[in-house]
């Protein structure tokens, strides 16, 4: 594929100006001739890679000739600066034994190599903003880095930053950011402290011996970190191979041992799952046998479970395999904590139902004398534990009482459910065989689907599950309404559906009237209250929805529970846009409640049924 220059961004008197390209400018860009390029092929089947579909097969294909000239020039300068620093340090009478960092050196050479390492970090940052897959950020009017998420997607219009300027994509900006970051780190470092960085296999390491362990392992098949790392590795290797000959000996990053379920690398889907299970079990066992006995092992995990649906409920191969490894390693779960670690402004979080949190699994060693129970006993214990746990999660806890976001609820509920499952040696099925982790997860998730709403809302739930917002025949709606002890005419009167011409359909939140007042409405299903609240939130934010919530009075809790229920349903049906509306309402619930608490109270004579 070829490239065409679409425009030039220049500094104007009052800001940036956009100029149409000339033939001379386009010809000038094409004259760049790099002396070196990373002509290393990347794996076309790697997780998150899509550019291979368009003929880009080598790392060098991701850069324009002019970008390659810039990167190779700065890479050469890193080597040159290293030698200049060493000579300057010698002139300042620094002791030197002629050894480098990689061999434990000190003095001028070690100092020079440490500085060149930081400069190589800036070089990698330049590669992130200096390639042909960089988007233009229209608000800030600057290039946006390639790695807004852990993937390399194809784009058609890209921005080429000026590495010699003083704005986004320039060397000056990279060094300024690096200096500020490192300066803050060094401010907190005691002069006598010596850091140590090592590389070890999680399955055989001894670093965790006697320590408190908190780990963030790979997420089954979500991200191929090793393959993605090569984007940066090829530039690090060019600049730093003389400094770290052992670490940078291979042409690309080692990948075979990475604990990620990649079918193309292990011979198929089943083989990849077995590889992940065996490796993660070994790694977890290594952690738990060496960790300090007085503290739990905490494991960060952010894997959205949604890929298996049947009559029991929902489960995920990623979660099933990972939790299976944890349990086989001799650990039991004592809880899960959803922590808000994900930035909603990151590219992955924009316009999608991405996880709002990381889920922290809290694990301890399972007692050697743990017993077995039957499936019936397991279900009975879940009936006791999960309702209270679910109520606490959806209402929130702590000072701000912020609830768990719907997008994270299926992860969070795993904790109390698997705490029951994992404290026993086994849960036995009717035939005497141990219950699988998959079955346990599906039974746990079943609790998210239970509801106890008014008859009108129950009709709407079932109709929405079958037909969504589309219309269908009146006869079917009439039969369903009768089974829920309501009527189509009554539902129409309640304002939740449209009926006419032998057809029936539910109204979307955007179709609800803006002058609605629940204090004067004679028939207010929870369904109507929820979608009126979404309308108010979308159109007026926290203040408008808070005022409406205050007027709803005792219906607020049921509205919130219905939002959770509908989010789960939309996720299962693949209706991402609808799911987003419910998720946004719940994640903003604390602010809406605060606005409701300060909303003006209606006068007594305004309340229905009041008599003086």
Pairing label, strands 331-339, 358-365 = antiparallel
> Would you list the domain boundaries of the chain?
1-26, 32-189+230-256, 261-449, 455-606
Q: What's residue 223's pLDDT?
A: 82
Distance of CA 415 to the CA centre of its chain: 19
- Which residue shows structure tokens 């097969």? 57
43 in Cβ contact with 58 (< 8 Å): no
Give the residue ranges of the chain where pLDDT is below 50.
96-104, 304-314, 343-356, 603-612
Distance of CA 323 to the CA centre of its chain: 19
Secondary element (H or E) of residue 225: helix 225-240
pLDDT tens column, 354-386 = 444 567 888 888 888 999 999 999 999 998 998
Tallying the residues shown for the chain, one arrives at: 612
Tokens found for residue 110? 């070690």
Alpha-carbon gap, residue 237 to 79, rounded angstroms: 12
Residue ranges of the alpha helices (H) in 267-374?
269-290, 317-328
Secondary element (H or E) of residue 479: helix 474-483
- Residue 166's Cβ-count burial label (10 Å; 0-12, 13-18, 19+) is exposed
Torsion sign across C-alpha atoms 226, 230, 235, 237 = positive
Q: What's residue 449's pLDDT?
A: 56
Q: What's residue 396's pLDDT?
A: 62
Residue ranges of the alpha helices (H) in 98-224?
107-129, 171-187
Closest Cα partner for 295 from 368, 365, 358, 359? 365
Closest Cα partner for 413 from 300, 333, 311? 333
Rg (CA), the chain: 30
42 in Cβ contact with 49 (< 8 Å): yes
- In a 13 Å sphere around the CA of 295, the CA atoms on its Cβ side amount to 14
Residue 374 pairs in a beta bridge with: 428
For the CA atoms of 416, 422, 428, 433, the dihedral, rounded to the nearest 10 degrees, stands at 130
Torsion sign across C-alpha atoms 526, 527, 531, 537 = positive
Closest Cα partner for 101 from 233, 245, 237? 245
């Amino acid at each position: 594929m070829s490239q065409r220059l679409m425009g030039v961004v220049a500094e104007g008197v009052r800001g940036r100006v956009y100029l149409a390209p000339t033939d001379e400018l386009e010809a000038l860009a094409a004259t760049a001739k790099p002396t070196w390029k990373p002509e290393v092929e990347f794996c076309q089947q790697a997780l998150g890679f899509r550019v291979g579909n368009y003929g880009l097969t080598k790392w060098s294909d991701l850069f324009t000739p002019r970008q390659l000239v810039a990167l190779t020039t700065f890479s050469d300068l890193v080597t040159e600066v290293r030698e200049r620093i060493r000579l300057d340090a010698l002139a300042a009478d620094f002791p030197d034994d002629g050894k480098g960092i990689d061999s434990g050196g000190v003095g001028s050479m070690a100092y020079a190599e440490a500085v060149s390492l930081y400069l190589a970090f800036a070089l990698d940052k330049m590669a992130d903003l200096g390639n042909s897959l960089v988007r233009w950020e229209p608000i800030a009017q600057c290039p946006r880095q390639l790695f807004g998420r852990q993937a390399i997607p194809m784009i058609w219009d890209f921005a080429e930053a000026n590495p010699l300027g003083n704005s986004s994509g320039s060397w000056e900006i990279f060094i300024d950011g690096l200096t500020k970051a490192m300066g803050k780190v060094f401010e907190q470092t005691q002069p006598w402290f010596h850091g140590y960085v090592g590389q070890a296999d999680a399955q055989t390491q001894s670093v965790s011996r006697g320590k408190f362990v908190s780990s963030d392992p790979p997420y089954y098949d979500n991200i191929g970190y090793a393959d993605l790392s090569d984007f940066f590795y090829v530039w690090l290797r060019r600049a730093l191979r003389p400094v770290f000959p052992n670490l940078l000996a291979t042409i690309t990053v080692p990948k075979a041992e990475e604990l990620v379920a990649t079918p193309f690398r292990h011979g198929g889907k089943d083989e990849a799952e077995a590889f992940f299970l065996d490796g993660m079990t070994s790694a977890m066992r290594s952690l738990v046998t060496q960790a300090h006995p007085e503290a739990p092992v905490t494991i960060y995990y952010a894997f959205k479970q949604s890929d298996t649906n049947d009559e029991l409920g929902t489960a995920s191969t990623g979660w099933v395999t990972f939790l299976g490894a944890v349990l086989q390693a001799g650990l039991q779960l004592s809880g899960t904590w959803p922590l808000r670690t994900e930035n909603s402004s990151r590219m992955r979080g924009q316009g999608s139902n991405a996880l709002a949190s990381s889920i922290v699994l809290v694990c301890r060693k399972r007692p050697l004398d743990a017993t077995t129970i039957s499936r019936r006993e397991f279900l009975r214990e879940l009936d006791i534990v999960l309702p209270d746990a679910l109520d606490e999660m959806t209402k929130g806890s702590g000072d701000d009482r912020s609830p768990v976001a719907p997008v994270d609820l299926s992860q969070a509920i795993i904790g109390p459910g698997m705490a029951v499952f994992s404290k026993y040696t086994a849960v036995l099925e009717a035939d005497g065989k141990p219950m699988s982790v998959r079955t346990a997860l599906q039974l746990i998730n079943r609790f998210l689907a239970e509801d106890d709403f008014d008859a009108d809302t129950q009709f709407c739930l079932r109709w929405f599950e079958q037909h969504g917002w589309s219309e269908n025949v009146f006869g079917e709606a009439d039969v369903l309404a009768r089974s829920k002890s309501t009527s189509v005419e009554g539902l129409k009167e309640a304002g939740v559906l449209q009926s006419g011409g032998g057809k029936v359909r539910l109204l979307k939140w955007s179709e609800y009237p803006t002058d609605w007042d629940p204090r004067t409405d004679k028939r207010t299903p929870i369904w109507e209250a929820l979608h009126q609240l979404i309308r108010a939130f979308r159109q007026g934010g926290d203040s408008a929805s808070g005022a409406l919530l205050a007027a709803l009075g005792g219906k607020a809790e049921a509205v919130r529970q219905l939002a959770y229920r509908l989010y789960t349903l939309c996720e299962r049906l693949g209706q991402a846009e609808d799911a987003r509306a419910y998720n946004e309402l719940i994640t903003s619930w604390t602010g809406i409640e605060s606005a409701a608490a300060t909303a003006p109270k209606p006068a007594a004579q305004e309340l229905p049924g009041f008599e003086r």
